[in-house]
Chains A and B, each alone.
Chain A
Amino acid sequence: MVKALRIALPVVGFSMLAIGAWLALAWVPAERDMGAPSRIMYVHVPAVWMMFLCSILNFGSSFWYLNKASLKVDALAEAGAEVCLLFGGIGVLLGSIWAKPTWGVYWNWDPRLTSVTVMLVTYAGMLAARRFEEDPDRRARVSAVLGILAAASAVLVWFSVKWFNSLHQVQSSPKTTYPELVFTLRWNSFAFLFIAIWFVWERYGLAMATRAGEVAPPEPPGVTASGGAA
């Protein structure tokens, strides 16, 4: 069952992504005022949503680790942080390209863009710091603290468009959007969700396999691999 799900997730996710591209680029009408660039929404928004989901996963795991240290929880936090950074990077890059035809510039130190940059730099710093610390417990604790800080910046990213005077639009809801646009956005979001779950799953497995190598107790001196005395 688990093996079937591990194969089904990427198959369904990538198939939905391909159909989603057709829906977004050919089927759905362009938004009235924004025209063709509005189609960027169907990859930009799901990517950013996945960034937030993975950030929540990292925060939960980090908080859990500080309360009850566990290698599995630390592996889950690491997986969440890396996938969060991937989708966040894609989301910001696409948002920057979308900004050119709509705002006239690729980048602007707007509150939303600044806060998301701080958040992604925190995650990148956390992943880099993990590589420098060899003690698994200390590494996990430092990473958990950074994970909680990064989650605090994620809250700022979410509310930045409401709290500050931002060029970025506030969050839309299905009630304020045309049904065709909502359907295409939901389709692509589920495609990204299945792929993100698969990524986290695989990355978690990788982290656990790496931990197994790290925490394997060294063989006592004078004992051979077969168990006999040398």
Chain B
Amino acid sequence: MSLPLLLAQATAEHVEEMSKVGAGKIVGGWEYVWPCYLIAWIGIGLYAVSLIARHRRVRKGSAA
């Protein structure tokens, strides 16, 4: 392969890679935001429910 051809190929690869970088700003991304909020709410909510349930179980156990 000749040098000019190699250079042209390398340039084309570089241009293709750089086109993936864009302007350095993230566009969109809401599909990552919603799961995060859902995980936080569900995690906190489930733990609160588990605490209440465990309290009830201990109270029942001590009453029995």
Instruction: Give residues in A with beta carbon < 8 Å to B.
Output: 10, 17, 21, 24-25, 32-37, 39-40, 43-44, 47, 86, 89-90, 93-94, 97-98, 100-102, 195, 199, 202-203, 205-206, 209-210, 212-213
Contact = CB atoms under 8 A, between A and B. Distances in A.
21 contacts: A25-B33, A32-B25, A33-B24, A34-B25, A34-B26, A35-B25, A36-B30, A36-B32, A39-B33, A43-B37, A43-B40, A86-B43, A89-B43, A90-B39, A94-B39, A97-B32, A100-B32, A199-B47, A202-B52, A206-B54, A209-B59
Contacts, number: 84
A209 B55 CA distance: 8
B20 to A, nearest CB: 10
Contacts of B55: 202, 205-206, 209
A201 to B, nearest CB: 10
Interface in B38-54: 39-41, 43-44, 47-48, 51-52, 54
Interface string B12-27: 0000000000001111
Given A37-B26, A195-B44, A195-B48, 7 more contacts: A24-B37, A34-B26, A35-B28, A89-B43, A206-B51, A209-B62, A212-B62
Contacts of A40: 32-33, 36
Q: Is the interface of B mostly helix, strand, loop or mixed?
A: helix
Contacts of A43: 36-37, 40
Contacts of A86: 43-44, 47
A104 B47 CA distance: 31
Nearest to A93: B39
B4 interface: no
A24 B37 CA distance: 10
Contacts of B43: 86, 89-90
Given A44-B36, A90-B43, A195-B44, A35 B27 contact: yes
Contacts of B28: 35-36
Contact-residue bracket for chain B: 20 to 34
A32 B41 CA distance: 26
Contacts of B62: 209, 212-213
Contacts of A89: 43
Contact of A98 (B24, B30, B32, B54): B32
Contacts of A101: 26, 29, 32
Nearest to B25: A33
A202 to B, nearest CB: 5
B64 to A, nearest CB: 11
Contacts of B36: 40, 43-44, 94, 97-98
A30 B25 CA distance: 11
